[in-house]
Amino acid sequence: MELVGQHGKLHRQPKVQPDQVLCWIALVLLGLNIGGCNILPKADLPEVEAESARPESRVKGPREIEYEKLLAEKEAQQHEIERLQKLLAEKEAHIRSQEARQQDQAKALQETSSQAAQAKVKLRRLATRPAAASTIAEVEMIMENLKSSSMTDSEKILQTQAQLLLSAAAASYAEDNYATAMDYAAQAREFIDMVRNNRANKAADPHQVTVPFQVPIPLRAKVDSNLRQQPSLRAAVLGMLGKDSTMTAEAYRGDWLKIVTADGRSGWVFNTLVEAQLAAPRRSVQLQRASE
């Protein structure tokens, strides 16, 4: 009986106070709240966050596709522009190289022509009667061929100047001045060749080229005329050529003459504004009178 009583005392439940019960209940509820906070938000994530977590799975909209297409086209256009710019730069470099080469060739040709002209002048100074007669006859034959063809007003003026010089050549020949006769005949030939070459160049290529005269031609201004920087009515005016001022024609381009004035100025003048200047005899015959 004594053992039983001691065993009962060992298994007797302790007495629970009301305050302790309330604390346990509060702890249980707090634990439930904390657990719920960790679980519920995971189930209620918004769709936007879910989509942002998987960007590779999002389908692109029409606007985005169109925008990407525009970007690709812009990039392709930029590459094409860069390619064309590079090609243009190469072409410009090639053109500059060709122009430089043409200028060198033109300079060499001009020097050669100048040397040939000087040699012809020396030969004319040693001219004999048969040589002068042959030269005049050759120019007269070419003149007749030119007259037989239809001519423009500008060509008629050049032909009249050539005829004036050819008449002066015949007069000098009659005076036994054979060197002067050959000079006039050569100058007449230059004007005739100017007409013929202009016809050929206009038919083959609209771009005129400067052609040097083999024999410089003395001229004088018929009226007050503009001396221009280039053979064009739009070119800058370098100065004024007064009426009767003298000059020498060294080359031509189309209907323009490249001249050097008595005071050393160089430029271009239209061929209808000047006339041949005869040194011997000392007179200058008007083109209109010569044509009559």
**Ranges 100-104, 144-148, 277-281: which has the least confidence:** 277-281
Domain map (residue ranges) of the chain = 62-126, 127-291
Partner residues linked to 240 by β-bridges: 226
Under 8 Å between Cβ of 208 and 254:
yes
Beta 256-261 vs 225-228: how paired, if at all? Answer: unpaired
**Ranges 45-59, 121-135, 152-166, 272-286: which has the least confidence:** 45-59
> In which band, very low, low, confident or very high, does the pLDDT at 131 lie, cut at 50, 70 and 90?
confident
Tell the burial category of 25 from Cβ atoms under 10 Å away from its Cβ (0-12, 13-18, 19+).
exposed
Beta 274-276 vs 246-253: how paired, if at all? Answer: unpaired
What is the distance between the alpha carbons of residues 256 and 269, in angstroms, rounded to a whole number? 6
Domain 127-291 classified CATH 3.40.50.1000?
no
pLDDT at 28: 61
What tens digit of pLDDT does each residue of 172-198 get?
A: 999 888 888 999 999 999 999 988 888
pLDDT at 30: 64
> In which band, very low, low, confident or very high, does the pLDDT at 214 lie, cut at 50, 70 and 90?
confident
Q: Is the pTM of this model over 0.75?
A: no
Under 8 Å between Cβ of 154 and 107:
no
pLDDT at 148: 87
Q: In whole angstroms, how far apart are CA 128 and each of 125, 142, 172, 180?
A: 9, 22, 13, 11
Residue 258 has pLDDT above 50, yes or no: yes
Residue 241 has pLDDT above 50, yes or no: yes
**Ranges 55-59, 124-128, 198-202: which has the least confidence:** 55-59
pLDDT at 286: 41
Average pLDDT of the chain? 77
Residue 12: which region, alpha, beta or left (left: phi > 0; alpha: psi -120 to 50)? beta
